[in-house]
Amino acid sequence: MKELICISCPRGCHLKVDEKTLSVTGNSCPRGKIYGISEVTNPVRTITSTVKISGGMLSRVSVKTDKPIAKTKIFAVMKLLNQVQLTAPVNIGDLVLENILDTDVNIVVTKKVEAKYE
């Protein structure tokens, strides 16, 4: 039995998930059941981070995955992001890394950064 706090809605239900039968108790809505089963069978997360950017008004720009990625791949993704350096200007939605780690998940820019004019 695994105990979780559901993050699907603001209620924060305390779930109990039987990992053998995949039965869920403690949920107040159907999303809790879906979350509980997903969390014990294939936990995923959306990654938000920053990467270096040169020639811009900022030295780093925020990025995120365009869909959740397996929790087991988070550290590998972060290692790849530490090697990325973009060049300004960049816009929201610009592709940073495509199909990262063969997961069909992309890393995209989440903040517009203008080029620095001297």
60 & 12 share domain: no
Residue 24 resides in a domain = yes
Residue 115 resides in a domain = no
pLDDT 10s digits, 7-57:
999 999 999 999 999 999 999 999 999 999 999 999 999 999 999 999 999
Residue 55 resides in a domain = yes
Question: Are the C-beta atoms of residues 53 and 113 closer than 8 Å to each other?
Answer: yes
pTM assigned to the model: 0.83
52 & 89 share domain: yes
8 & 58 share domain: no
Q: Which residues constitute the domain of residue 83?
A: 48-109
53 & 36 share domain: no
Give phi and psi for 54, each to the nearest 5: -110, 155
62 & 101 share domain: yes
